[in-house]
Structure 1
Amino acid sequence: MALSTVPLGRTGTTVSSISFGTWRFGRETDTGDLEVDEDRAHDLLDAYADHGGNFIDTADMYGDGRSEDWIGNWLSKRDREDFVVASKIYWPTREDDPNGRGIGRKHLRRQIDLMLDRLGTDYLDVLYCHRFDDQTPPEEFMRTLDGFVRDGKVNYLGASTFEPNAWEVARANEIAAREGYEPFTVAQPRYNLVNREVEYDYVEMCETYDVGICPWSPLAGGFLTGKYDREGDMPEGTRGSESSQFAERYLSEANFDALDVVREVAEEVEASPAQVSLAYLMAHPQVTAPIVGARTVDQLEENLAADDIDLSEGQFERLAESKESPTLV
């Protein structure tokens, strides 16, 4: 099975219909172990590439830089031009440095060179601002980011986790239009069948400004895989068993009602709940490519198989209506 390809938002770049997220690479668990070490990271990247995947998502803070390092080591044995690499910038990189975080010019200029060095590449295909920085005027960071594009260090700009403040992206893009800067053309909000906050105004904003959406957490932290039940049982080794916030966020009656619809559709198309949840996003007209992570090759391959699922219009509508979209109160 080879993944299909889609346009990256309104850009001229083509990407795989499912992006591979590497936030687990080099991440330390509570016991001090690495959730995914470099050998397994390379196995996962090999499996993704073997299935035709080309859209790799990382961040400068994943694994304290190890994720970018390991991707760079892997890319050194491949043709860099075969892949679309996205990374993110914002979080502190030097705890004692007040300028070692955010998206101010000083931090952006320092970090972009470190990121490129770790990845072993001359450029990023997409650079996301990982968070909005209310300490930096948007005129400053948009001008600085535009300079990266002009210098050939970055191809496209993205906004990650700005939701639900759609106006922040809109204001930045209005400044870019006024000044002739490169705008945000890709957004990376949390979006899945039970986390629907972006449907209030963020999705509409993206449509208005021609911004493609690459959702993170498309499986709601594993909730949409169907491994949890209404009794609140937490399977060992899952995020639910490790996070005290998981039950409060996901184990609600409304979410289980939505999951029931996912399970019904999964049975109809002979697929897993996870595959149906991903297929829904892939069929969404405003979504470019959901970002999936995995601990094992088997998990990754199950997720990638969602590319083969064709939902009927009726099934898509049932899933869309499985949980009420948020409205202004």
Structure 2
Amino acid sequence: MARELGMGVSAWSPLASGVLSGKYSRADLDPATAQGRRAVAIGNGALTERALDIAGTVKAIAAELARPPSQVALAWLLQQPYQIAPVIGARTLAQLHENLGALDVEFDDAQRRRLHEASAIALGFPHDFLALPGIQQAMYGGARIRRGW
């Protein structure tokens, strides 16, 4: 939406309460044992199975680049095709310096594609329904609709 409307974005919690920094695993998903920051991450919806899947891709690419996962996650945001200002939640000077290292991260096309695929938002109903071949056939009768007048 931001890209289409020419809007800037202030990304609050760009590391998803620390999930994208690589500090959590599936063992941390149990809300019954959660305390402190982990309880907050679960409570605000940042620590989920899907988020850990995304974090896994971030960690894999971080390993390829010999960078911390936090830098990869922040660089991915900064390299989107629209104006974005991540709201950094660094608690220490070391975290701030690490986060600023994202400005020097470069991805190849395959890494960009993997990050995009891992983080793509599932549109759900009605989008998935309307994309089904049988529904497309019923709506358009085989006609092709040209976009981009």
Same fold at TM > 0.5: yes
> Would the alpha carbon gap of residues 216 and 300 (structure 1) be closer, same or farther in structure 2, given more than 3 Å must change?
same
> Would the alpha carbon gap of residues 264 and 214 (structure 1) be closer, same or farther in structure 2, given more than 3 Å must change?
same
Q: Which residue number in structure 2 is paired with residue 301 of structure 1?
A: 97
Q: Distance in 2 between matches of 1:312 and 1:300?
A: 25
> Would the alpha carbon gap of residues 323 and 238 (structure 1) be closer, same or farther in structure 2, given more than 3 Å must change?
same
SS in 1 for 2:11: coil
> Would the alpha carbon gap of residues 298 and 238 (structure 1) be closer, same or farther in structure 2, given more than 3 Å must change?
farther
Q: Which structure dedicates a bigger proportion of its chain to strand?
A: 1
Given the two structures, how large is their TM-score scaled by the length of structure 2?
0.71
Equivalent positions of 1:148-187 (< 5 A) are none
Q: Which residue number in structure 1 is paired with residue 15 of structure 2?
A: 219
Q: Which residue number in structure 2 is paired with residue 290 of structure 1?
A: 86
Q: Which residue number in structure 2 is paired with residue 247 of structure 1?
A: 42
Q: Distance in 2 between matches of 1:266 and 1:325?
A: 22
Q: Which residue number in structure 1 is paired with residue 115 of structure 2?
A: 319
Q: Which structure dedicates a bigger proportion of its chain to helix?
A: 2
Given the two structures, how large is their TM-score scaled by the length of structure 1?
0.34
Name the count of aligned residue pairs.
121
- Structure number with greater CO (CA < 8 Å, separation at least 6) is 2
CA-to-aligned-CA distance 1:286-313 (integer Å, 9 cap, x gap): 1332221221111111101111111112
Q: Distance in 2 between matches of 1:255 and 1:294?
A: 20
* Structure 1 moving runs of 4+ over 4 Å: none
> Would the alpha carbon gap of residues 213 and 251 (structure 1) be closer, same or farther in structure 2, given more than 3 Å must change?
closer
Percent identity between the aligned chains? Answer: 36
Structure 2 gap segments, 5+ residues each: 126-149
Structure 1 gap segments, 5+ residues each: 1-203
SS in 1 for 2:99: helix
Equivalent positions of 1:1-329 (< 5 A) are 204=1, 206-232=2-28, 239-241=37-39, 243=40, 246-247=41-42, 249-329=45-125
> Would the alpha carbon gap of residues 324 and 210 (structure 1) be closer, same or farther in structure 2, given more than 3 Å must change?
closer
Q: Distance in 2 between matches of 1:251 and 1:277?
A: 15
> Would the alpha carbon gap of residues 207 and 296 (structure 1) be closer, same or farther in structure 2, given more than 3 Å must change?
same
C-alpha contact 1:281 1:287 (8 A) present in aligned 2: no
Alignment RMSD (CA, Å): 2.3
Q: Which amino acid letter does the alignment assign opposite residue 73 of structure 2? A: S
Post-superposition offset of 1:276: 0.3
CA-to-aligned-CA distance 1:128-158 (integer Å, 9 cap, x gap): xxxxxxxxxxxxxxxxxxxxxxxxxxxxxxx
